[in-house]
Chains A and B, each alone.
Chain A
C-alpha cells in the first residue's frame, strides 16, 4: 500500500470528514487545529502524555493469549489487547488525557464532554479531577436513567452531569448540546470529544491519541508470537478504539482489519446501530460520514444492547477505509455479543465490556474456520463491570 497520510489539510478522508459546522464554531476549530499542530510534536507535550499514560493509566496494556477460548474453537489463536486494564476501565482515557493536556496548555480551566454509556464522561471527570479543572458532562436523559452508576461515579469525581432532554435524549443529542455549550463558552472551555467523529481536527486528533493501542500491539505481537496477526478486530460505535488499533496497521497489507458493528436485534429488524453496514453518506456532527437516516435525511434512533455502540454516525476515517476496501465492516447481534461475553467470563476469567463483546463475537465466528497457526488480535476495549445490570436483566435477574 502507498503511504497513508490522511486526512488532508482540510480534514478530509476522501469525501468524508471535513468541517461541517456553523460559522460561529469555525474560529474555535481553527484555534484548536493550530494548537494541536503546535503541540503534537512538541517534546514537552509528548513527554507529559507518555508519563501520564505510563504512570496514571498503567500503559502499556498487555496482550494476552486467550488459550482456553482458542482451544474451544479448535482454530485460530486469539490474542486480546487488554485496554480493559486501563485506569477507568477502557480505552477512553488515552484520548481524554491527550485532550486535557492540550486544554491545560491552552489555559482553559473548564472542560466539557458528551457521553452515552458514561465511560467517556467518567474518563473526562477523572482527568478533570486529576488536573483541577471544572468539568461538565452532557448526557441524554434516557442514558442518565439507564446508567445511574456512571452518573454517580462522575459526580463523585466532582463533575456536573447535565441531562439532555432534546431529540431522542441519547448520545447524539448530548453531542449537540455539548457543541452548543462550546460555541457559547469557547473562551474558557475546551470540548473533549470522546470518539473519532466531529469536525476536523477531532477525528484526526482523537485517532492520534488512541493510536498508542496499535503502536504498542505492533511491537508486542512479534515479541509474543514472532509475527503480526492475520487479522485485527475491534468493535465500532463512533470507532475510536478501532481506529486506535487499526491505524498503525493500515500500511501492513497482510493484516486484515475488521470492524464489528452492533446489529442489535438484527439488521433486518431496523433496530440496530450498524452504520457502516446499513447506512449511507450524509452530514452530522460536523463531518461527512455514513449515517443511519430516513429517506428525508433525518437521523434515526438506533439500538444496541451496548450503549457505547448506540450511535447513528461513525468516524469519517472508517467510512473511507470501508470505501477503499482497506478495512471490512461486519455486524453481530445483541445475542451473539452476549454469548461471547459469557464465554470469555467462563473460559478466561475476564469480564469484557458489552461493546468489546461484539468484536469477541466476530472472532468466535472466524476462528473455527482458520488454521491453528493463524492469529486473531481482538481489541478488548473495556471491562464489563459497568454492564452487570444489563447482563443480569437479560438473564432474568434483578439486583
Chain B
C-alpha cells in the first residue's frame, strides 16, 4: 500500500481527518526546506504538499507567487526539491509527500526521468496544476508505472462529465478547490462545499480534500466535518513570509492550532 493510501486508511480507522499543509520548497531559503517539513509533521500534518517553484505561477495568488519568486532567487530547481524529499526521508519514512507545481519544470526534466528520480527519493505523488485530465494521460501512465499517485484538482465549475474523467485518472486523493479564482482568495461557503462533496462522492471512492480559503482553526474545523482532508497553503506561507528566521517554530505552532481545532470535530 502506498504511503498516501496507508495514511488515509489509518486516519479513517481513527475517525480523524487529514491535515495537508502546502509550502514552497526553498522559501524562505534553501536550508529551511527539510526542517520546515519536519516542523509541519511535528505540528500535526498528515501529508505534505511541497511546492515546486515556477517562474509563471498562473493559478496562484500573490502570497504563493511571492514565495515562488523568493525560492527562485535562491535558484531552487525541481532536482533540489526532489533531493530535499530524499533528505526528509532519512528520518521520516511515513509522512506522504506530494509535489505540487506546474508542467514546465516536469516536462523539462522529462516525465520518465521525473517519475524515476522522484520515486527513488521517496516522493509519493504529484499534482501538476496545469495538466488537467485532458492533457494528463501520459503523466498518469508514467507515474502509475513508477508507483506514484497523480493528484487532480476539482473546482466548483467542474462538470459531471469531467468529474467522471477525474475520478478515472485520479490517484491517492482528490483536491477540491472550494472557490473560484486563484490561491489565497477570500471566504469559503461551508454549506456549499458540503453539497458539492456529496455530489463528488457519487463519482469516486478516493478521499477528497478541500482547499482554498481555509485560514484558521474555525474554518478548518468546519471543513473537517465534511471533507476527508483540509488543505492549507496561502495562510501557512504567510506565516513563513512574516517570520522567515523563525519559520519552523511558527509553522509548527500554526499547524498544532489547526490540528487541535480539527480533532475537536472527531466523529463520535
Interfacial chain A residues near B65, Cβ < 8 Å:
166-167
Given contacts A180-B59, A288-B107, 12 further A-B contacts (CB under 8 A): A20-B130, A20-B131, A23-B155, A167-B65, A184-B181, A184-B185, A282-B108, A297-B78, A297-B104, A298-B72, A298-B105, A299-B104
Residue of A nearest to B105 (CB): A297
Say yes or no: is B154 at the interface (Cβ < 8 Å to chain A).
yes
Say yes or no: is B109 at the interface (Cβ < 8 Å to chain A).
yes
5 cross-chain CB contacts under 8 A: A27-B159, A167-B69, A183-B59, A184-B185, A298-B72
> Which A residues lie at the B interface, using CB under 8 A?
10, 18-28, 30, 166-168, 172-173, 176, 179-180, 183-184, 186, 281-286, 288, 291, 293, 295-300
CA distance A10 to B136 in the complex (A): 13
> Which B residues lie at the A interface, using CB under 8 A?
54-59, 61-62, 65-66, 69, 72, 77-79, 102-109, 129-132, 134-135, 152-155, 157-159, 162, 177, 180-182, 185
CA distance A295 to B159 in the complex (A): 37
Which 4 pairs of residues, A with B, have the shortest CB-CB distance? A297-B108, A27-B157, A184-B181, A297-B105
Most buried by B among A166, A283, A286: A283
Interfacial chain A residues near B182, Cβ < 8 Å:
24, 180, 183-184
CA distance A183 to B131 in the complex (A): 16
Residue of A nearest to B181 (CB): A184
Using known A-B contacts A24-B181, A283-B103, A293-B104, determine if residue A19 contacts B134 with beta carbons closer than 8 Å: yes
* B155 and A27 form a contact (CB under 8 A): yes
Using known A-B contacts A22-B153, A23-B132, A24-B155, determine if residue A298 contacts B180 with beta carbons closer than 8 Å: no
* A26 and B105 form a contact (CB under 8 A): no
Interfacial chain B residues near A26, Cβ < 8 Å:
132, 155, 157-158, 162
CA distance A19 to B135 in the complex (A): 7
Residue of A nearest to B79 (CB): A296
Measured between C-beta atoms, what is the minimum distance from B16 to chain A in Å?
Answer: 27
* B58 and A180 form a contact (CB under 8 A): yes
* B105 and A296 form a contact (CB under 8 A): yes
CA distance A179 to B61 in the complex (A): 11
CA distance A282 to B105 in the complex (A): 9
Interfacial chain A residues near B54, Cβ < 8 Å:
297-298
Which of A18, A24, A167 meets B153, CB within 8 Å? A24
Interfacial chain A residues near B180, Cβ < 8 Å:
24, 183-184, 186
